[in-house]
């Protein structure tokens, strides 16, 4: 069947518009990321694929840290994807300190404004619930404990971010750090796909082992 030139033009226009919309969505609205490591265990596991909002904190000029306009400010407990100047890569951690807060790490536990949050052990010996004065979240911590972090006061326009699995993060040399708010690229929203990495499978299965219990679960 031959297509008329007008029909070909319509299809071409539809494809072109679809591509433009996809680019706009990825650049300004929502982007998908894959979690490659366990530094945010138990909230996020290696092989989790997440959608993250790029407009929660405002809309940036593409390929820069400057904003077209600002949105909401980061909040305690937000899991954020940010650009690391030192590693020139995207990292993911949790916001635990806002401007004016004093942050310290003592025996792997967060000390917030000179107060050490209560820790409630979980089902796993190495994981539990840390009750931050502003919110609560799950962490994992085992030997060797991360190095002590002296008190840091969060300056204006910065946040302090910290990994949930602090032992693993310390092995990777970056448990927590001060970052400028402009370095934040997106706020993690939910897991849309979760696949067990090959290193954790029996090596026999041909098809990917999908963790169905994690699909469409929020990041918290």
Please give the average per-residue pLDDT across 202-217, as a whole number.
82
The answer as to whether 8 is a domain residue is: no
Would you state the pLDDT for residue 19? Answer: 65
Residue span of the structural domain in which 172 resides: 31-218
Confidence grade of residue 23 (pLDDT, cut at 50, 70, 90) = low
- Whether the pLDDT of residue 165 is over 70: the answer is yes
Residues in the chain, total: 220
Tokens 């994992």 appear where?
140
The answer as to whether 197 is a domain residue is: yes
The answer as to whether 119 is a domain residue is: yes
The residue among 109 and 26 whose pLDDT is bigger is 109
Would you state the pLDDT for residue 6? Answer: 65
The residue among 132 and 214 whose pLDDT is bigger is 214
Q: How distant, in Å, are the alpha carbons of 23, 51, 196, 203 from that of 209?
A: 30, 20, 6, 11
Give 166's contacts (C-beta < 8 A, 6+ positions apart): 105, 108, 139, 140, 141, 146, 175
55/186 Cα distance (integer angstroms): 7
Stated pTM of the model: 0.85
The answer as to whether 77 is a domain residue is: yes
27/52 Cα distance (integer angstroms): 12
State the chain's mean pLDDT as an integer: 84
Confidence grade of residue 210 (pLDDT, cut at 50, 70, 90) = very high
Q: Could you tell me whether strands 102-106 and 109-112 are parallel, antiparallel, or unpaired per DSSP bridges? A: antiparallel
The answer as to whether 21 is a domain residue is: no
Cβ atoms of 137 and 145 within 8 Å: the answer is no
Q: How many domains does the chain have?
A: 1
The answer as to whether 66 is a domain residue is: yes
Which residues, in sequence order, are bridge partners of residue 132? 135
201/205 Cα distance (integer angstroms): 8
The answer as to whether 25 is a domain residue is: no
Cα–chain-centroid distance for residue 171?
A: 19
Query: What's 93's domain CATH number?
Result: 2.10.109.10
The residue among 40 and 3 whose pLDDT is bigger is 40
The answer as to whether 5 is a domain residue is: no
Round to the nearest angstrom and report the end-to-end CA distance of the chain: 53
167/41 Cα distance (integer angstroms): 10
pLDDT tens across 126-157, in order?
899 998 778 888 999 888 888 888 999 999 99
Three-state SS at 166 = helix
Three-state SS at 71 = coil
């Amino acid at each position: 069947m031959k297509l008329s030139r007008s029909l070909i033009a319509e299809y071409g226009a539809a494809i072109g518009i679809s591509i433009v919309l996809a680019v706009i969505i990825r650049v300004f609205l929502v982007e998908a990321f894959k979690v490659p490591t366990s530094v945010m265990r138990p909230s996020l596991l290696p092989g989790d694929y997440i959608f993250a909002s790029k407009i929660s904190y405002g809309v940036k000029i593409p390929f820069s840290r400057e904003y077209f306009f600002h949105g909401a400010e980061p909040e305690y407990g937000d899991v954020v994807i940010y650009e690391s100047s030192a590693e020139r890569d995207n990292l993911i951690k949790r916001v635990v300190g806002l401007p004016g807060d004093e942050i310290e790490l003592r025996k792997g536990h967060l000390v917030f404004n000179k107060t050490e949050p209560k820790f409630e052990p979980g089902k796993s010996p190495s994981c539990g619930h840390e009750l931050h004065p502003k919110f609560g979240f799950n962490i994992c911590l085992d030997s060797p404990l991360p190095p002590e972090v002296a008190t840091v006061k969060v300056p204006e326009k910065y946040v302090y971010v910290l990994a949930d699995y602090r032992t693993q993060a310390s092995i990777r040399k970056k448990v927590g750090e001060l970052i400028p708010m402009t370095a934040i690229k997106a706020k993690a929203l939910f897991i849309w796909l979760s696949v067990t990495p090959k290193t954790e499978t029996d090596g026999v299965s041909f098809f990917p082992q999908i963790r169905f219990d994690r699909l469409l679960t929020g990041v918290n």
